[in-house]
Amino acid sequence: MSVPLLNGSGCLDALTAPGVAAQLDAFVTKTITPESREGNPPVRIAETEAGMLNSIGLQGPGIDAFLTETLPRLAAQRLRVWVSVGGFSASDYADICERLDGRDDVDVVELNLSCPNVDEAPESAAEIVAACRGRTKARLYAKLSPANSDIAESARAVVAAGADGLTLINTLRGMALDPATLKPKLARGFGGYSGPALKPVALACVSACARAVNVPIVGLGGVQSGQDALELIAAGASVVSLGTILFTDPAAPGRIRAELKSEATARGHRDPLEVRGVANS
């Protein structure tokens, strides 16, 4: 056995950086919406002391152009593709899932249920998952927000509605101010916060959900090293995703994979997955 490594949605463009994507076990696309979107106005990215803020706003080509232009190019790279799906209503999500149903070039559909940079759908996460499950047989992973007051209960609800797995966690809403003007650095004022400071939040959410449901969990949030990845596995993840680190270290997937094996070996384990959930026992 081995621990699959993915990229966080929006943290890597496999068409621009195919060498980085080739180091991963699967590539997660930027979130695809029904129609093309220009996204939020700039400034859309700001660094902080312990991470970064982004307010991209789900910029993308829309499902039609994705299917005719982007997906064939990803398939030509022989990548396992996870498609991140977003929308502004349950029907938006379900319509895209139906378009993706039965495709050999789509391995998993990840439902982005928690983007802090756009208005959310009025339906609950479970209602969106149920709508999608009714329109596709694809494997569905629900990406949940760490801002949820009871993420374990949300996990139970989406799994009961038909989710096959969970992705934990999405970014937290945050703000950064220009020290000279004391105005927000981002044009929208706030954005999604990611980076090393997010790891304790991710660990708590992965642990809570691993105790609540028995499905595969993709753990992400602040992973910079093999030690970080091992800790997410100990909290209950079976897959690890890399996000902000990919902006500064394109070699991170290979490095972290080697470090993860080394960290597990140092603790007497032949496979890192042998420590899955030990933090919860």
Q: Of the candidates 167, 194, 172, 38, which has an alpha carbon nearest to the alpha carbon of residue 109?
A: 167
- For residues 229 and 202, is the Cβ–Cβ distance under 8 A? no
pLDDT the model gives residue 117: 64
Q: Which amino acid is at 93?
A: Y
Give the model confidence (pLDDT) of 163-193 as tens digits. Answer: 999 999 999 999 999 999 999 999 999 999 9
Between the alpha carbon of residue 60 and those of residues 10, 56, 83, 186, 243, the distances in Å are 10, 10, 13, 19, 18
* Structural domain contains residue 249: yes
* Structural domain contains residue 49: no
* Structural domain contains residue 182: no
Q: Which residues are catalytic?
A: 115
Segment 179-186 long-range contacts (CB within 8 Å, at least 24 positions apart): 185/43, 185/46, 185/53, 186/43, 186/44, 186/45, 186/46, 186/53, 186/55
**What would the two tokens of residue 188 be?**
């929208």
The predicted model scores a pTM of 0.96
* Structural domain contains residue 181: no
* Structural domain contains residue 234: yes
* Structural domain contains residue 47: no
Domain boundaries, position 93: 5-38+58-175+193-280
121 pLDDT band (50/70/90 cuts)?
confident
Q: How far apart are CA 4 and CA 163, in angstroms?
A: 19
* Structural domain contains residue 139: yes
Looking up residue 12, the CATH number of its domain turns out to be 3.20.20.70
Give the model confidence (pLDDT) of 2-28 as tens digits. Answer: 899 999 999 999 999 999 999 999 999
* Structural domain contains residue 11: yes
The total of structural domains in the chain comes to 1
Edge-to-edge order in the sheet of strand 81-85: 5-7, 239-242, 217-219, 165-168, 140-143, 108-112, 81-85, 27-28
